[in-house]
Chain A
Amino acid sequence: MSAREQNIAAASQALAETSRVKPAEIVFWLAALASFFLLPEQHLLLSEVLITGLFALSLDLVLGYGGIVSLGHAAFFGFGCYAAGLATKHGVTDPLLGLALVAVLTGALGFATSFLVLRGSDLTRIMVTLSVGVLMGELANRMAWLTGGADGLQGVAPGLLLGRFEFDIFGQVAYAYTLCVAFVLFVLARRFVHSPFGWSVRAVKENALRTSAIGIPVNRRLVVVYTLAAAYAGIAGGLLTQTTQFASLDLFSFHRSADLLLILIIGGTGYLYGGLIGALVFKLIQDAIANVTPQYWEFWIGLLLVSFVLIGRERIVGLPGLVWRRLRGRA
């Protein structure tokens, strides 16, 4: 075997190594499954967390893999919410069919707007994504005859899941449904980011100029990942509408996009689990703060953002591990 062939073999083995399923991942999904049986009272809350996690995962695809700083990702989430609600109200009552429809529609919206984020600096991208978000919110507000305007979209009644299961008020079916959809989407996303195509997307993020020099079409990669992420965000939104049977203008708000960034920063970008873990941690933090000061929790979220940047994510997230190692070292 020549040196060149050896290099190639070593490289492909290293890549295969990273895509292998790790024990921690199996534990993670087993824990998610166990939560369904062990925490029956928390199903509604867990569905919400999981949906937020899926939404954050979609932003991770854009930010952690594509390297695009987006402040308007809530546009796709909100669009998915309304699309699912309207589809249900206008005849497409089968939840899975509705979700597929939502994925296609949001993907199309993502594809159309992806060309806006290809050009310019980070600032330009931030502004364009922010504006698309505001525009979508304003559209939903203006088209009150379709969306219900400020009152929100009410009376969404999804049909039986798989023709058998009815969405109950305790969220049992909703959580099982969300869990299954999230798992399938996660596996697909995992497959995507570990494929050669996914690696080329990461290369674009690292250095767009060099990537184009080795013959990878940079813009096409970004369009694909942006479209995919939009479809994921749309599905997350669709799940929310189907499980809560309601959609409101608040979905488009700037807070949603900002909270989402915080979730992703808590969980970490670029390994897909960040969004899911971040969503759970964020919900716990939010609940803890809301118990202390229900009205001003926004302040603490702000403080959290500032300290994450100033102190650094590694140091905050690494703190428990550091304390643990210290304790063990002493024992």
Chain B
Amino acid sequence: MLTNLFDGVAYGMLLFVMACGLSVTLGLMNLINLAHGAFAMAGGYVTVILVNRLGVPFFAALPLAFVASALIGLALERTLYVHVYRKSHLEQVLFSIGLVFMAMSGVTYTLGSQQVFVHLPAFLSQRFDVFGVSVGAYRLFIIVVCGVLAAALQFAVARTRFGSRLRAAVDDPVVARGLGINVNLVFAVTFAVGSGLAGLGGALGAELLGLDPSFPVKFMVYFLIVVAVGGSAGMTGPLVAALLLGVADVSGKYYLPQFGAFIIYVLMIVVLLWRPQGLFGRAAR
């Protein structure tokens, strides 16, 4: 029971790190980006290549995965995404689906379509008992890393100057521009950091979630749930939504294996019917 809860929390934390960038971009530029999972996949594959093929230590590969995905995100934002901000939601959906398809077959072409795993350091793959609860070291590691990240993000958004600019730009981009905030720059940085975090999440989750070229489509719905249910008012909403989703999904699959896959979708539909703007505050306009 507690083990399940623990696994669910680890899973939810991962989802939060992967999806939090999406919630900000969605709230900031009203951009529906279905290709967010592709950045997570990029981070995962960067880690796999670095660790398995080049022998880079796992802990050194994680920041590199962040940097690589952030750079990819920045490049795509500057070259392609800037052109679709003002387009309709339908066009944004088509555009990002197109990116997902290209990313998926690009990976299949270069790295093959089979599922890959990261070679973890030995001490991370053991299990131990804490007060009778069986705990996986790697999951504990994920919870710690993602918890620290979540706290840092909350601090960055709530307390720093960049965070206040970001919040101003989310609240009202026109007025923020009028006050001299470079909204485009804020968005480019946020997009890059969001992509980087997705990549880091993908790197951390490669072992837990399984990594193959269909990753972006498989987890697209999960990211969207985190965003739509959590709203984009702050970091707290998506965090709570991600944790709820993680726990619900893991325990659902464990206790009701027959209906496991249904639970999250039904839950999401119910939540969106009950509160179309998300559980916490407002979602995208």
Contact = CB atoms under 8 A, between A and B. Distances in A.
Contacts of A122: 32, 89-90
Given A116-B273, A310-B83, A123 B284 contact: yes
B32 A296 contact: no
B171 interface: no
B198 to A, nearest CB: 18
A127 B94 contact: no
Given A299-B101, A309-B95, A131 B268 contact: yes
Given A134-B221, A138-B261, A127 B104 contact: no
A71 interface: yes
Contacts of B106: 299
B157 interface: no
Given A121-B284, A127-B225, A261 B94 contact: yes
A308 B261 contact: no
Contacts of B228: 123-124, 127
B93 A69 contact: yes
A299 B102 contact: yes
B93 A71 contact: yes
Contacts of B265: 131, 134-135, 138
B131 interface: no
A309 B284 CA distance: 21
B84 A309 contact: yes
Interface in A235-279: 254, 258, 261-262, 265
B262 to A, nearest CB: 6
A216 interface: no
B91 A309 contact: yes
Contacts of B89: 69, 122-123, 126
B283 A123 contact: yes
Contact of A305 (B95, B103, B221): B95
B190 to A, nearest CB: 18
A126 B95 contact: no
Contacts of A135: 262, 265-266
Nearest to B91: A309
A119 B99 contact: no
Contact of B109 (A121, A128, A299): A299
A94 interface: no
Nearest to B282: A121
A120 interface: yes
A11 interface: no
Nearest to A302: B101
A138 B221 CA distance: 14
B98 A119 contact: no
B95 A128 contact: no
A10 interface: no
Contact of B98 (A128, A131, A303): A303
A124 B276 contact: yes
A310 B262 CA distance: 36
A127 B264 CA distance: 12
A134 B268 CA distance: 12
Interface of B: 26, 32, 80, 83-84, 87, 89-95, 97-106, 108-109, 217, 221, 224-225, 227-228, 258, 261-262, 265-266, 268-269, 272-273, 276-277, 283-285
Interface of A: 63, 69, 71, 116, 119-124, 126-128, 130-132, 134-135, 138, 142, 254, 258, 261-262, 265, 295-296, 298-299, 301-306, 308-310
12 contacts: A121-B283, A123-B228, A124-B272, A126-B89, A127-B225, A135-B265, A302-B97, A305-B98, A306-B80, A306-B98, A306-B102, A308-B98
